[in-house]
Structure 1
Amino acid sequence: MELNQMSTFNLKTFILLLTIPVALSGCGNAGSTNTVESAPVETERGVPVEVVSVAQGTVRASIQASAILEAEEETDVIARVSGIVEDILVEEGDFVEQGQALVRLESSRYRYSRDQIAAELRGVSQELERMRQLAGQQMISTEQVERLQSRHDALSAQLQIAELDLSEAVIRAPISGHIAERFVKTGNMIQAYQQKALFHIVNDTTLRATVNLPEHALASIKAGQEADLELQGAGNHNNISAQVTRVSTVVDATSGTFRVVLSIPNAEQNLRAGMFTRVNLHYAQKHNVVRIPHHALVNVDQASYVFIANENKAQRLAVTTGIRENGWIEITEGLDTGMQLIVTGQNTLRNDALLEVIEL
């Protein structure tokens, strides 16, 4: 009986010893509640991106080239008769109208020759009239009248040539334009139709630019298409418009290019032949199409994608592109207006990534 009581006592003592540390531990925690706070739970931050709203606009496809401005009309002035230069009526830089007198040659010999032929023709005309009357009276043969008639006709032709020579002793402008160069001086002996020109006239009221484009553009370039020209040294007229007027259908086998001629209105003559220009030839233009900045496009394995922001998450969309302009790309499929297009930070995004959106 005493043994059982001792066993019971030892068991109670053991249980009591086990409970003391637990109680002490509880007291320690109770005392520290006022000094230790639980750590806050961190939320995931989104990837910062910039977005713009997708909108419609105009996109033009262009080809860049360079050219030198040329006058649409220019010519050398030559003499049609020989003679000594008596008077020069214009100088370099002057604007002349077609038919305006430029140079006078010594013309007295042409005038005397004309007067001589005219006098002889008058005598033949009187004789011809008398012989016709005699032929009517059958006093002379018709052969005599015909011979005199031939003489009369020859003199008439000679008189016309003499009058033409006399008129061409005054050398006139064949076209309207500016005197670009003067080669003749007073006192020079001028030969008819000599190779050396007297003047060079440039009509710069309409200019042209000739560009050579690659063969692959031949099917796209047509007369009437527009181009923008950027010039150096034209003052306030550095940027002007031009139009395609002629397209060669022959491709040069050596260079693989074909010729395109642009027409440039220059009624105010602010531009000059010889100016260098850069040409942007617009061979395709579309209005009211979905367009995006070119840097928003992501290319992966020859496929095109864009990222949009959808409820603060990235969504990747496959798109089909059309024509391109400086800084803009037409989107023909896969994107609608009003979507929030990611334009910065899209190259490192994954689909469904959390975003921190910054609207531009």
Structure 2
Amino acid sequence: MSRLTLIIFLIQPLVLMACNQNTAPLAAPPPAKVTTARPLVLPVIEWDEYTGRLAAIDAVEVRARVSGYLQSTHFEEGQLIKKGDLLAIIDPRPFVAELNASQARIEEAHAKLAESKSLLKQSQAERADAAAQLTLADQRVSRVQQLARKNATTQDDVDVSKSEKSQAEASLAAADAMIESSNARIKTSEAAIETAKANLEAAQLNIQYTQIRAPISGRISRRYVTEGNLISGGSEQSTLLTNIVSVNPIHCYFDADEQAFLKYGRLSREGTRKSSRDVKNPVYMRLIDEQGFPHIGHMDFVDNRIDPNTGTMRGRAIFANNDDTLTPGLFAEVRLPGSGRHDSVLIPDSAIGSDQSEKYVYLVDSEKQIKRQAVKLGPIVKGLRVIRSGLDGSEVLVTHGLQRVFPGVTVDPTLETLKATSGSGLPDDYEPVPPEKWLTRRSAPAPPGISSNIHQTGAQTSARSNGGQ
């Protein structure tokens, strides 16, 4: 036996005896420390969140209405302009020449009218002379025939008198024909005058069209065509000179899915939230770099059908833009009231757990044991999550330390008080915007002589039956 083996053999019993003497039962671990709180029950408005894009109410492509050479432009690119401001001038000289020609044609038509009236008078005088000659010839025929019956004249005299009568009748018929011709010439001259006047008005309009003016107020774009170029006008292929978009107020378009659309219709029928087709519900908006929701507007339009390609309903809100901070094309976050005012259970997101099938919270019972409770979530209101079902507000739930607990375990809870915040800037209640504060453009009345086919009552009835945002 080696020396090392002998040492191990002697030490082994001592080690076994020491282990047997130190063996003792392990102590139970202390309860896990968690933070708990009671849910808040507060009256709230659930504000539905959408992403929208700003769009100008009016957008106009500035095109010429007449063709010609672009003589000059008179606007600063990218600046605000007013309706009626001069934007460009097309060389007016060809149109001035056409105007002068139209005026000359009017004078010519008047001269022809005067000539036709003179011919009418002459024809009327010739008819009167022919009528007198016919009367005289008729009388001569009567006298000659009386003399012939008495054999007091020759047959030649009878024939001559009858010939004179026929000539007088022919002269009278010719005079009548000249009168009719003169009347036709007068009508032709009058029609020529009206045509010439119409051509004159068209020439005057063309001269006005050589001065291209802003049809709306707004912000103008750059010059697409520079001076000296030949531009076409008055057709679908007219040359695009620039474009103008209105800036105040401004629209924001957004899309709601079918579930949200059906919810709004149900709430409208229940009377807890009016449809945006019937009233102007308020809408809050912010840009991507803004805090809170500083822009307040109202609903302006809800489309008449669900888009079959996207399964969404298009809505539109309108906002004032007095400080020109809103630019068409920008993305914006929109908040629309998604419910009426009601009491809701609110908890922090930190108290919510998730697995593949559901959302849940951990509740602490009277024996300080953990129970799992499934919940259905709503939106965030006042910095806390709305619980649609699963809690009634009387429970105690774990807000911090979820990773240290599981159902059935005993915990050491520390109770805290939840506090709601108002950092979103959204109100706790709302009312539809009154008519005196509407930004929506009112429909123009029908022109005189044209009947209107707008039936507001029928439109509102249809909107109520179909719901809306």
Match of 1:90 in 2: 75
CA distance in 2, matches of 1:98, 1:215: 41
Select which of 237, 259, 283 maps to 1:216. Answer: 259
Structure 2 residue runs of 5 or longer lacking an equivalent are 1-29, 125-178, 265-274, 418-469
Match of 2:249 in 1: 206
Change in Cα spacing, 1:213 to 1:206, as seen in structure 2 (3 Å) is: same
Post-superposition offset of 1:305: 7.2
RMSD over aligned CA atoms reads 4.1
Q: Deviations over 1:164-190 (max 9, x none)?
A: 111111011122211122112122222
Native 8 Å contact 1:71 1:204 kept in 2: yes
Match of 1:282 in 2: 336
1:260 aligns with 2:260: no
Native 8 Å contact 1:231 1:239 kept in 2: no
Native 8 Å contact 1:180 1:200 kept in 2: yes
For 2:192, what is the secondary structure of its paired residue?
helix
Relative to the length of structure 2, the TM-score reads 0.54
CA distance in 2, matches of 1:287, 1:116: 74
Match of 1:6 in 2: none
Structure 1 residue runs of 5 or longer lacking an equivalent are 1-43
Match of 1:7 in 2: none
1:115 aligns with 2:100: yes
CA distance in 2, matches of 1:60, 1:70: 26
1:172 aligns with 2:218: no
CA distance in 2, matches of 1:59, 1:343: 26
Q: Deviations over 1:264-317 (max 9, x none)?
A: 33233212123233x34435133241331154568999697784787x968989
Native 8 Å contact 1:104 1:171 kept in 2: yes
Higher share of residues assigned strand: 1
Post-superposition offset of 1:213: 3.9
CA distance in 1, matches of 2:408, 2:371: 6
Select which of 9, 29, 37 maps to 1:51. Answer: 37
Deviating more after overlay: 181-190 vs 297-306: 297-306
CA distance in 2, matches of 1:90, 1:46: 74
Post-superposition offset of 1:158: 0.6
The code of the aligned residue for 1:116 comes to A
CA distance in 2, matches of 1:101, 1:258: 41
Native 8 Å contact 2:352 2:360 kept in 1: yes
For 1:251, what is the secondary structure of its paired residue?
coil
Change in Cα spacing, 1:256 to 1:55, as seen in structure 2 (3 Å) is: closer
Change in Cα spacing, 1:56 to 1:145, as seen in structure 2 (3 Å) is: same
Native 8 Å contact 2:347 2:387 kept in 1: no
Residues matched between the structures, number = 310
Higher share of residues assigned helix: 2
CA distance in 1, matches of 2:38, 2:291: 35
Deviating more after overlay: 348-357 vs 194-203: 348-357
Select which of 341, 347, 350 maps to 1:293. Answer: 347
Change in Cα spacing, 1:318 to 1:356, as seen in structure 2 (3 Å) is: closer
CA distance in 1, matches of 2:118, 2:412: 116
CA distance in 2, matches of 1:72, 1:179: 14
Change in Cα spacing, 1:302 to 1:185, as seen in structure 2 (3 Å) is: closer
Match of 2:65 in 1: 80
Native 8 Å contact 2:375 2:390 kept in 1: yes
CA distance in 2, matches of 1:236, 1:179: 30
Deviating more after overlay: 348-357 vs 319-328: 348-357
Match of 2:325 in 1: 270
